[in-house]
Structures are given as structure tokens and as C-alpha cells.
A and B are shown apart, each in its own frame.
Chain A
Amino acid sequence: MIGIIYTFGLVFVLSAVLALIFHKVFELTIPAYIIAGIVGGLFLEEEALLELLKWGIAFVVFIFGAKLEPDKLKHGMGGSILNVGLHIAGIGLPFFGVFYLAGFGTLNSIFVSAALVFSSSLTGTELSEKYATIELLYGRLAEATDIIHDVLAIILILLLSPVLFEVGMGHALSVAGGMFVFALAVRRYLFPWLFEISDSSEELMLLSGISLLVLMIAISEFVGISIVVGAFFAGIAFSKFPYNIELVECVESLKDFFAAILFFSLGALVAFPTTASLIIALTIITMTIFVKPLLTAISLMHYGYDKRTAYRCALTLDQVSEFVLILAIQAYLVTAIAEPVFQGIILATTVTMITTAYTDNYSGKIQDWLSRNLPLETPEGLQRYSTQITSELKDHIILVGYDVQGEKIGEYLKECDREFVVIDVNPEVFESAKDLKNRIFKSAKDDESWELANYKEAAMIISTPPQKHISEKVLSLDTEAVKVVRSNSFREASSFLEKDADYVMVPDLLAAEQLVDYVEEAIYGDKEVIERLREMLMEELKEEMEEFE
């Protein structure tokens, strides 16, 4: 028996080394902990960490609850619900049937379907791409879907409590209901008050959070429902902005500490795969990587979203959720899950977490390929936005990209009554571009878009997206028009200038110049100048907001 200090040494050193490698290669770390556990498991007794991994569950779920913002569901609620519904109907239920008929029993079949249905916001937010584009439509859809998945997973865990912990369903539900009400009361009355009297002391907020967490968990254990439920409600009690900022920041290191132990110990429980566990794992992996994204894409297209959004969203939902791992480990602790199912789920989760890093990195290319090769389209009647050209285009300006910067230029062109046409494929901007006289909602890489825009007779082409291939496409056009493209790096910008660009916008440079102008005005100007500048900026912002709404 290795002492606990050595155990921690093994857990953290192995995890850190592998996590560094995984971070470098895949930009995510959770699978690294699991693999560290598989390696470390060779030196540890199988059950050495079982008690400690429950701490991991507690903190991971707690933080999830504390970070939960129901507001995020506002955008794309309908699409996400349809999405989740189709996941359940399309793969969850059929495979429940298949496994049930194959003799796995109700409980094990439920575990497999859960692994097939649920994807996770925890892995998701670790992926750089998803994080960066959360402001984009597909990112928001994916996030909303993830949140619904996670909450459903918690509800499933609650509903399974009677089976797992031998307690009456009515009893379990009423206790959970009581805890929920208690959590809401704490959230509404107690924590705001504590936050105030503690003068937002980090240490006291941390202790208050942990107090509630351990209390809720002890109650859960006492009445025989899953600790996940207690931890989640404790998190909910703290999810109110802005109190949650300080707390999450503090508790996060505790979560990191125990989460590493959690995933490590899961890995340590992995045994050499048997045929049965391999078949289960392969089924889950295949369905998650290939079938689930298709279901996502189909449901979103039928909700009226364009192909691009649908595919990109689908590619961020192609992993098995950690909540499924948590569900499985809970079942494992009370020996309510068959060994091959347990092994299969851990294996499948680890593999899909790694593959999702890849599909995330190459989502642009995969989406292009899918668009070209699959006969899926957003049904005509459901499409929300359409291309139109209403005036004769000559000596006009072509504006590629209509995000904030493009819109700003568009505003100005409208003001001086100059003819222009917008080319953009990002559904994000359709809303703000839908009233333009001339708009082409097609890719700037298609020649068709340029023919429509009558590029040969344009006076100027301004391309605002930073993608290299778009800038290169613009530079390759055979026209007399003045070409302005954009690049985010000076080196690339310089090479564009050498090619055929008349000017390259480097946003950092432009923004820096403008900011220096403003700051100089603010620090050297008198009160009046500052006030004028402030009003001007506010006015500008207000105008934009009105137009946006």
C-alpha cells in the first residue's frame, strides 16, 4: 500500500506531464488525466482512490452549477431543443432497444444510451475554437445544446437514484425538490447578504461555498440520492452574478485538484479491453463521431439554420460527456453497472474527447467537404435569409464581410449614397444585412458570388474577413478595382502588398492608431474635450445599438 502522499505525487506528476503533451498537441487536457490514470493504475491498487474521486465529482458538478447562466439558453433555444430531441429519438432510444434486446438489462442499456446522447460543455469550453467563437451563432447553439444535455444528465442521475441507492422514487424526488427550493432561497437571500457582510472577502466566500457544498452532499448521501444532485444545487445557489465570480475563481483550484484525481482514478479503473467492452466502445464512438453530428445537422437545418451553421455546430457536439463518466462511476461504486459497459464507456469517452479536438481544429475543412458531398440542404421554405441585387452595379464598391467593421464601412457608404454590394456567408451577419439593397449571401470563394457582384466594373473591393484564402481570392480577381484586403499579421500583410493589394488593413494597427488618438485627446485635453469625446463615442455606440436592434 503506497502512502497517500506518494499517491498524490504519482497522480499529479503523471497528469502534469501528459497534460502538457496533450495541451500542445490537442489543446485539451481531460483525456490526458485519464491516460495518466491508465498508466498510473499499474502502480496503484484498483480501489486506492475511489473515495477521493467522489470529491472530484462534487467539485466538478459544483463549479458547473455555479457557472450556469440560464440566459445562455435564450439564443437558439428552439433549435437546441429540437437537436436534443432528435439525439434522444434518433440514437438514444433505438440503442436502448438494441442493448436491451441483446440482454444487457434496463440499467446498462440506459447507461449506453446516455453515453450516445450526451455531449458536454466541460470538454467543449476547453476547446479553443469553441471558446473563441461562443459569440457566433453555431457556438451559442452548441452551448445551449450542451447545457440541456448536462442538465438532462443530472436529472437522469436523480431519477436513477432509487435503483442505484435503494430509496423510494417519491422520497428521492421530494428531497431533491426540497433541496432545490433551499438552494434557490440561499441564492436569493443568504449569499447576497453574506457577500455584503464579508466585504467580498475571498476566503470567507470560499468557505461559504464549501460549507453549502459539503452540507448538500451530506444530505444527499444521508437520504440516498446521488451526490451529483446535491453538488449541482449547491452550485446553483452560487450561480448568481456577480457573487459567483470571486467564488468560482477561488473554488476552481480545488476543482482542478480533485478533478485531476477524478479523471486519473477513472483511468486507473480501466482494464485491458475485452471483446464485449470493445464492441460497446466502438458502437458509442462510431455513433458519436458519425451519426450524432448528422442528426444535429439535420435538426438544425430543419429549424431553418443554414448548412454552415448546422455543420459547425454538429462538429462541436461530437464527444461523450463527462457527466456520463460521473453517472457510470456512481453506478460502479454500487456495482450496478456491468463491467464491459463501464469499461466501454470510459474508453469511448476518452477516444471521443481526443477526436473532438481534431474535428474542432479542422471544422472548417470538414464542413466544406460535407457541404459538397452530402445531399443535405436547408428546406427552401424554412430559409430565413436570401440573396438579392436590386440596382445596376457599376463603378460600385464591393464589401466582403459584414461584421462590425464591415458594417461600419457600409453605414458610411449608405450615408454618402454610394452604390455597394455585400458578400457574406456568415449567418451571424444576415440579421443586420437583411435590409440592404444589394446582398449576396454566398461564399466569397465562389466565382458565382463575384459574377453577381459584377466585380469587373467595381471601383473598389474591400475585404474585411481575416482569412487568408479570402484575401487571396480577392487579389486573384482580374479587375481594375482598388483592392483593400485584411490580414491579422504584418508578415502576411506585407506579402499581400507585394502581390496586388493596394492596401492591407491590419486591424491591430488601425485600432492602435485610433486608440492612441483617443488616449492622447483624453489625457491632454481639458474637461470639455474629454466630455465631447466621451459623448461622441457613446453616441456612436448608441446609434449602432439601435440599428442592431
Chain B
Amino acid sequence: MFDIAVTEGLFITWDLVVLIVTATTLGYIAHKTYQPNLVAYLITGIILGPVFLNIVQETALLEVISELGLALLLFLLGLQLKFDAIKNILKPVLRIAFWQTVLQTSLAFVIPYLLGFTLLETTVIALCTVFGATPVIVKLLDEKDEINSLPGKIDVGVLIVQDLYLVLILTIFSAPDLSQPLVIATNFIKVMGLMALLAVFSYAVSRWVLPKVIEEVGNNKHLLFLNGAAWAFLFISLSLYLEVSVEVGAFIAGLGLAQSPYSEELKQQVKPITDFFMMVFFATIGLGLTPEYLTAYWKRAIVASAVLMVGNFLIMLYLIDREKFSPETSFLGSINMVQVSEFSLVVGALAVTRGLVGNEILGYLSLMAVITMGISTYIIKYNHEIYDRVEHLFEFLESEEKGDMDIKTLKDHAIIIGYDEITRRLIPVLKEKYGDVVVIDKNPKYVETMKDENAEFFFGNLKHGEMRRTIGLERASIIIGLARDEAINRRILEKKRKDAITFLRAKNREEAAELYDLGADFVIIKRMLSGEKMTEYIEAFLEDPKLFEEKIEGDKQVIDWEARL
């Protein structure tokens, strides 16, 4: 697959134009009907491919883009694995995830077997359908602002463990000969060994070399992205060279960066390009299907989807409840997880290339993905409403000893955007009044300094919607934005809570007037502030030079003290 000649046919073709325009159009329709985008992309391929219109061919370009997309997707997946996020519920999550994997794999195994698939097909299907769809769940919960709720955290935790399981499966499938268990086993051991080596290397570099590199990069986001891409391709090339699966290499590269404070910003930058490439990947899967493949097992797909959704829900409900969370948490945490992951298609496509199963199985998996994702989207969207309706059915789960632990969400807090000498002095003032102070800056050089401050620090850019949600912009009581970035200031005013106090900084007077019009409470121009204070001093001087002396005495001490630091 990698020996593609790069000279020909890699530029924009009409095939690509038709594909992208269709995907975009369907994307809007999906958005309006609350469907995940990837359902739209899959359907794009199905419509344009042999199943319906048959007007777009799988070209070398599409192949390269989807191959890159898959690698980037795994890189992004690794990048998102922040163990910090689930630290305080780690133990229950690990237990849930372990048993969930065991039980769900069994269920995923039994369903196709009973439906009459061969043993090999059953195995592939089981391994494909065991995961929940991270993008669907995370995106919807994020939009509903429930990602940091307790059920949200449990789900994310379980998904993280599933991702590790996925990497194991990918490793198994990358064995040179899959018919002999011994070959699979030796390959597995070899791959694990290499992975461990890569992981150690990744850890060492990201621990000792990368922070220095990233500090050098400063707030140049182009350079940050370039280094991220270099890091990813280094690992991808290495794993290719060592004959380990490319996806696993990309995943480890991401994992190596994930625990660093810079991962959030890097993620925001890798995401758009991954989104675009993945669109092509999923559409290509649709393109590869023929009417025969798609309809070969359509009845079984419907039955399997129904059984799987109910089964997964019950398994999760049982497991979460066993950890003694409240019935509501158990219910919400399980009902969010009733779909098949986009990785079913990734693993399925891999199994087809390896000649393990035929394209009909990929058709079957595609149908399951579309059905379960399509339905579960509405379930997640209306999860609370559903619970309200059926709450009485789950009364039997209630008992004295069950309850939810407190999950800290940022609320009624203070946000400082842009860290410098000026805002630094505000931290204690705000801390006293609001308790939680969050500081965000797009320059990574403060990551170290901020460890000593009495505030939570984020490195990133508020232009990204996800970052705005991470710092709880919509729930803050006071926002002091010194970013001097018009676009960011506008977003703050759009998204802030109605009664939040805002201090924003403008570049010039025209912009300041505009911010007032848009609803800012106070707009400051730094030079105006210092001018005001200075005028106060001169006023004193004109009245009586002695008074001036007194006024500036304190400042002189601060200057001397700061100079010595």
C-alpha cells in the first residue's frame, strides 16, 4: 500500500470535488438532524459508489488521503488519552472497563455466531463491534456540556481503556500469517517488544527533549503544528520500518505527547486536518461497498444492532451500578454507550485487506455502524428526558449506600485570559472572592511558572470551541481578557454568562468602542491604565512635590524587590 508512485494523480480531481461537496451537503443535513458527521460521510460513499450512482472511483489520491487520515486519527486518539482526566474515578472505571470488555466481547461474539456467521467471521465481527464510538459520545456530551459530569467521566474512562484494547487488536491483525496461532503469538510478542521500545523512546523524548523544543517554539502555532507532525511521522515511519502497524506507531506518538500540557493546543491543530482526511476515509469505505456487499446480511445487521444496543446497555448498567453509583448515573452512563464505534470500520477494513473476511462483512459492519450510531445520537441527545420517563422502572436499583462522588466542575469561577505582570497581581484578589481562578495563555512558557501560582493554568487558544468549554467560559462569574485579540474578545462576549463581569482589553480606541457596543462591561487599554495612574502621581507633584515622593515610595520598593527576583 505504501509503494504508491507519488508523481501522478495526487492533485485535485473531479472525483474528489464531487466527494467533498456531497459530503459537505450531507454533513449539513446530518447536523440539522443531529446525526454524527461520520454517518453522513459513510452515506456519501455509499451514494457516490457502486451501490447507487457509481460516479466516483477510488483513486490513488483518495487512498493516500485515507491512509494518512487513519494514521492521524490514531495519533489524535493517543493525544487525547489524558489519564489525569479520570484520575479520581480511576479504580471503578478500570473495573467497569475490564468487565465491560470481557462481557461485551462475549456478547459481540455470541450474536453473530447465533446469526450463522462462520467462526472466523464471528471473531472479526466480535472484535469490531465491541467498542463504543468515542467521537459520537464525546462530541455530543461536550455539546451538552456533560462531558465533565460523572456519567460523562465514567464513559470517557471506559472509552480510554477500550482504545488500549483496540490497539491490541490492531496488533493482532498486523501479524504476517493469521492462520497459525503460533505465528500470531510470536508476532504479538515481537510487536509488544517493539512497542515497548517505541514507548520508552517516546516517553524519554517527550519527557526530556520535547519540553525544551516546545518552549523554543513559544506561541508560534505553525511551528508547534510542524513539530507535532514531524513527531507523528517520525513514529509512523519508524513503525513502518520495523514492520509494526502504522496505526500503532501513530498511536504511541500521540500517547507520548498526551501527558504534556501542550497536548490540548496541539490537538486543536491536528483535529481539522484529521477531520478532513477522515471524511475521505469513511467515504472511501462507502465507495468500496457494492449493492451485494451492503445487502448481503442486512436482516442480520438489524437484528444484531437491536440485540447489541440492548445488551450493551444492560451490561454497562449492571457494571456501573455494581460500583455503587446512583441509579441516574448508572442509567446515563450506560445509555450513552449503546453504539458501534467508527473503529469497527477501521478494524473491519483491515480484516478485509488481510483477506480474513469478505467485503460483505464490511457491508454488514457499515450497516450496523449507521444504524446504531444513528439511533444512539438521539438517545444521547435526549438522555435526561428518557431517564425522566423511565425513572420509576429503575427504582429497584436504589439503596442507601449508593451515591455519586463529587466531580469538580468549574462554576462561578474567575477566568484570566493572558498571563502577564498585570494579571498576575489579580490572582490573589480574584482568588479571595471567587475561589477558583483559571488562567489561560497561548504561550507555553508560563506552564512552568504557573505551577507556583494559586490558579489552574491552561495552555491554549480560545479560538477553539473546545478550549472555551474546557475552561468553563459559559459558567464563569468574571472574565478578565487581556488577550487583545478581537476575535477572541467577540467570542467571549457571545458565549459568556449574562451576568458575568467582563474586563476586556482592546488594541485601540475604535475597537474599545466596538466592544462596549457588544456588551463588554469594562474595556481597558493598557497604556490608558498606566497613564491614569501616572496622572494621579503628577497631580500630586503639581500640588506638592513631597506628596509625589510619598506616592511613589511604595512603587520604588516594588521595583527594587522585583528586580532582585
Residue among B7, B464, B525 making CB contact with A50, cutoff 8 Å: B7
State which of B118-126, B305-313, B526-534 sits at the interface with chain A: B526-534
Asked if A51 is at the interface of the complex by the 8 Å CB criterion, the answer is yes
Contact A249 B464, beta carbon cutoff 8 Å: yes
Known A16-B226, A221-B12, A416-B542; contact A203-B275, beta-carbon cutoff 8 A: yes
Known A51-B10, A208-B24, A409-B531; contact A135-B4, beta-carbon cutoff 8 A: no
State which of B27-35, B90-98, B101-109, B144-152 sits at the interface with chain A: B27-35
Asked if B513 is at the interface of the complex by the 8 Å CB criterion, the answer is yes
Contact A510 B2, beta carbon cutoff 8 Å: no
Known A404-B527, A537-B522; contact A257-B229, beta-carbon cutoff 8 A: yes
Chain B minimum-CB-distance residue to A49: B6
Contact with A along B3-35 (1 / 0, CB 8 A): 111111111111011001101100110011000
State which of A19-27, A172-180, A304-312, A318-326 sits at the interface with chain B: A19-27
B:199-241 near A, CB below 8 Å: 213, 216-217, 220-223, 225-227, 229-234, 236-237, 240
CB neighbours (8 Å) of B216 from chain A are 20, 23-24
CB neighbours (8 Å) of B24 from chain A are 204, 207-208, 210-211
Instruction: Summarize A's interface: helix, strand, loop or mixed.
Output: helix
Chain B minimum-CB-distance residue to A30: B222
Chain B minimum-CB-distance residue to A520: B429
CB distance from A292 to the nearest CB of B (A): 27
Instruction: Summarize B's interface: helix, strand, loop or mixed.
Output: helix
CB distance from A466 to the nearest CB of B (A): 11
Residue among B2, B17, B487, B503 making CB contact with A245, cutoff 8 Å: B487
Contact B535 A409, beta carbon cutoff 8 Å: yes
Asked if A75 is at the interface of the complex by the 8 Å CB criterion, the answer is no
Contact B558 A207, beta carbon cutoff 8 Å: no
Known A16-B229, A197-B32, A511-B533; contact A256-B487, beta-carbon cutoff 8 A: no
CB neighbours (8 Å) of A251 from chain B are 272
Distance in angstroms between the alpha carbons of A507 and B525 in the assembled complex: 12
CB distance from B413 to the nearest CB of A (A): 13
A:40-86 near B, CB below 8 Å: 47-52, 54-55, 58
Asked if A538 is at the interface of the complex by the 8 Å CB criterion, the answer is yes
CB neighbours (8 Å) of A201 from chain B are 31
CB neighbours (8 Å) of B480 from chain A are 519
Interface size on A, residues (CB 8 A): 110
CB distance from A359 to the nearest CB of B (A): 21
Asked if A473 is at the interface of the complex by the 8 Å CB criterion, the answer is no
Contact A5 B233, beta carbon cutoff 8 Å: yes
Q: How many A-B contacts if CB must be within 8 Å?
A: 321
Asked if A99 is at the interface of the complex by the 8 Å CB criterion, the answer is no
Known A9-B234, A218-B14; contact A15-B21, beta-carbon cutoff 8 A: no
Asked if A336 is at the interface of the complex by the 8 Å CB criterion, the answer is no
B:18-71 near A, CB below 8 Å: 20-21, 23-24, 27-28, 31-32, 37, 64, 67-68, 71
Asked if A369 is at the interface of the complex by the 8 Å CB criterion, the answer is no
Asked if B191 is at the interface of the complex by the 8 Å CB criterion, the answer is no
Known A522-B501, A540-B528; contact A210-B2, beta-carbon cutoff 8 A: no
Asked if B299 is at the interface of the complex by the 8 Å CB criterion, the answer is no
> A-side interface residues toward B, CB under 8 Å?
1, 3-9, 11-13, 15-17, 19-20, 23-24, 29, 47-52, 54-55, 58, 135, 194, 197-199, 201-204, 206-208, 210-211, 214-215, 217-218, 221, 242, 245-246, 249-254, 256-257, 260, 403-405, 407-409, 412-413, 416, 418, 460, 462, 482, 490-491, 493-495, 497, 502-516, 518-520, 522-524, 530, 533-534, 537-538, 540-542, 544-545, 548
Of the A-B pairs whose beta carbons lie under 8 Å apart in the complex, a sample of 10, sorted by A's number, is A206-B272, A214-B12, A260-B229, A404-B525, A490-B562, A502-B552, A509-B555, A514-B529, A537-B523, A541-B513
Given pairs A23-B216, A508-B420, A523-B430, 4 additional interface contacts (CB within 8 A)? A52-B10, A207-B27, A412-B538, A530-B501
